[in-house]
Amino acid sequence: MKLCFPVVTDEGMESNIYGHFASAPMFVIVDTLTRQSTVIANCDPGNPYGGCSPFSALNGRQLDGIIVGGIGDESVRVMNMCGFKVFQAHSSAVTENLALFEKNLLQEVTVQQSYLEGRCSDGGGEHTCSHSHCN
């Protein structure tokens, strides 16, 4: 199996998971059978200076799962449309999450549709997210 982890620096299986999928500088892909890792820059290969582009970076890859610290609804939707399952990390360590994944202990991330529930909305209504909207 091949698993993808968004990371800041390439330290192979000793890497730490970056907190936000879409803006991670790179992805470490781990082959669970060989324990070998490779790194992919989070950019569009056709325009590497155009900024983060996880969809272009991972397009066409054969991945059995993406393990994330944080991810938005739209990214989950697109990754699912690309055939990728997304799982919630339990710690920042790639190695720990790899072990948990192999024991089927990581929960698959589902679309929360938080905008429909008033979370983080601009509508001035109640929200239940954990951060302040005051500037």
Structural domain containing residue 85: 2-112
User: What amino acid is encoded at 73 in this protein?
Assistant: D
CA distance 56 to 103: 30
In a domain, 118, yes or no: no
76 neighbors 21 (Cβ within 8 angstroms) = no
The two structure tokens encoding residue 17:
């998971």
100-115 pLDDT, tens per residue?
A: 999 999 999 988 765 5
In a domain, 133, yes or no: no
In a domain, 134, yes or no: no
Q: What is the CATH number of the domain that holds 40?
A: 3.30.420.130
Total structural domains in the chain? Answer: 1
Check whether 97 has a pLDDT greater than 70: yes
In a domain, 107, yes or no: yes
In a domain, 130, yes or no: no
In a domain, 121, yes or no: no
In a domain, 38, yes or no: yes
Give this prediction's pTM. Answer: 0.79
